[in-house]
């Protein structure tokens, strides 16, 4: 309630089972919409988080008419830690629906929008439901040059830092022993993009992360690895390519030349889809104000 008061500018008074809102007409109407829909979620047993409240305020402030229940109650996966993974924004919901419907989906947008995390949740869910036989997680290792010919003893040491975010997300969804066992068995594979060359992936859920750092040749190679009964999800941020000068991003090229293929879905995320701890968002906003000449204002510490 304190978050709603601070973000909407209303005052909230509680007396027994009654709640009274005070403030301007628009602010009160906004707070009422937020409270009614959040209460509906609580009645369904949904574990409400502060970032859910923050998103509800932001989306209703923009004038959009949505049902939070249709978004937040769409369970993608329940992790071994009993954490329920669900979409948190309209675009995340569209993304999940697209992955269910299409064999190939591009998720394009800034970091923090859940592109990779949700794709991995869908992949693990599909694996446990036996909809696929294996999961392949790939990333271009730009700093390593994406060249073949690593000595076997050097592979883990050289490539692991670039694949660590995929391991972290995987272990957030599965217990360490279970994830490690599936990796050892080859059921879940985490590998540099270059190691996809020459393979055909049947019965697999394949995710290419940080795809903006794949060259045109690498992207074509990856997209043509898709076999029967497989899904491919390609994620990336076209504004953050780390490719050397003169190298064209395969993600940018693919998003331009493949958009007219009906069997491929493109979901574009924006800053509004970034899900962060509310405090982290305030810190980012403060730095942005400073960088845009907004100056500094603060209060003394306790």
Neighbours of 195 (CB within 10 A): 17
- Say if 287 falls within a structural domain: no
Predicted confidence at residue 142, as pLDDT, reads 60
The number of folded domains in the chain is 2
- Say if 42 falls within a structural domain: yes
* Nearest residue to 211 via CA among 185, 245, 249: 249
Predicted confidence at residue 47, as pLDDT, reads 83
Q: 183 in helix, strand or coil?
A: helix
Strand order in the sheet with 264-268: 188-192, 134-139, 204-208, 231-236, 104-108, 264-268
Full-model pTM? 0.80
CATH number, domain at 29?
3.30.1370
**Residue for token digits 């957030």?**
172
Task: Give the pairing of strands 264-268 and 231-236.
Answer: unpaired
Are 139 and 96 in a shared domain? Answer: yes
- Say if 31 falls within a structural domain: yes
Beta strands, E only, 48-93: 77-78, 84-85
Q: Are 241 and 213 in contact (CB under 8 A)?
A: yes
Last residue of a domain, one of 73, 95, 123: 73
Cα of 142 vs its chain's centroid, Å? 21
Predicted confidence at residue 257, as pLDDT, reads 96
Are 94 and 238 in a shared domain? Answer: yes
Task: Give the pairing of strands 84-85 and 77-78.
Answer: antiparallel
Last residue of a domain, one of 45, 73, 101: 73
Predicted confidence at residue 153, as pLDDT, reads 47
Are 102 and 248 in a shared domain? Answer: yes
Are 220 and 164 in a shared domain? Answer: yes
CATH number, domain at 261?
3.40.50.300
Are 242 and 136 in a shared domain? Answer: yes
Are 25 and 96 in a shared domain? Answer: no
Are 64 and 103 in a shared domain? Answer: no
Predicted confidence at residue 276, as pLDDT, reads 74
- Say if 298 falls within a structural domain: no
Are 117 and 184 in a shared domain? Answer: yes
CA distance 241 to 126: 30
Are 158 and 90 in a shared domain? Answer: yes
CA distance 206 to 223: 10
Predicted confidence at residue 190, as pLDDT, reads 84
Predicted confidence at residue 54, as pLDDT, reads 85
Predicted confidence at residue 111, as pLDDT, reads 86
Distances (CA, A) of 67 to 28, 29, 59, 77, 224: 19, 16, 11, 20, 38
Are 112 and 174 in a shared domain? Answer: yes
Q: Are 251 and 238 in contact (CB under 8 A)?
A: yes
- Say if 207 falls within a structural domain: yes
Domain limits at 177? 80-273
Predicted confidence at residue 172, as pLDDT, reads 81
CA distance 29 to 187: 51
> Averaged in consecutive runs of 10 residues, what is the pLDDT profile of the chain (302 residues)?
85 87 90 91 86 86 84 78 81 96 96 91 92 92 49 47 72 82 88 86 94 93 94 93 84 94 95 79 77 57 46
Task: Give the pairing of strands 188-192 and 134-139.
Answer: parallel
Are 259 and 151 in a shared domain? Answer: yes
Predicted confidence at residue 232, as pLDDT, reads 97
Predicted confidence at residue 144, as pLDDT, reads 42
Predicted confidence at residue 252, as pLDDT, reads 94
């Amino acid at each position: 309630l304190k978050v709603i008061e601070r973000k909407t500018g209303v005052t909230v008074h509680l007396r027994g089972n009654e709640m009274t809102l005070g403030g301007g007409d628009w602010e009160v109407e906004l707070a009422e919409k937020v409270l009614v829909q959040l209460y509906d979620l609580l009645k369904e047993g949904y574990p409400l988080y502060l970032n859910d409240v923050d998103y509800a305020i932001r989306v209703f402030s923009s004038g959009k008419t949505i049902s939070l229940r249709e978004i937040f109650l769409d369970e993608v996966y329940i992790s071994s830690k009993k954490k329920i993974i669900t979409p948190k924004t309209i675009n995340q919901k569209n993304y999940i629906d697209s992955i269910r419907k299409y064999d190939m989906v591009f998720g394009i947008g800034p970091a923090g929008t859940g592109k990779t995390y949700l794709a991995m949740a869908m992949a693990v869910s599909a694996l446990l439901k036996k909809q696929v036989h294996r999961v392949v997680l790939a990333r271009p290792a730009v700093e390593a040059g994406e060249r073949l010919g690593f000595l076997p003893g050097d592979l883990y040491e050289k490539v692991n830092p670039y694949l660590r975010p995929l391991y972290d997300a995987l272990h957030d969804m599965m217990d360490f022993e279970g994830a490690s066992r599936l990796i050892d068995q080859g059921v879940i594979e985490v590998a540099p993009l270059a190691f996809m060359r020459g393979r055909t992936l049947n019965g697999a859920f394949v995710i290419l992360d940080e795809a903006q750092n794949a060259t045109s040749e690498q992207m074509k190679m990856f997209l043509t690895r898709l076999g029967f009964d497989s899904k491919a999800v390609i994620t990336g941020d076209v504004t953050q390519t780390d490719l050397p000068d003169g190298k064209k991003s395969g993600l940018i090229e693919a998003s331009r030349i493949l958009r007219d293929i009906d069997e491929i879905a493109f979901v574009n995320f924006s800053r509004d889809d970034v899900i962060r701890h509310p405090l982290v968002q305030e810190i980012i906003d403060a730095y942005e104000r400073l960088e845009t000449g907004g100056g500094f204002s603060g209060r003394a510490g306790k």
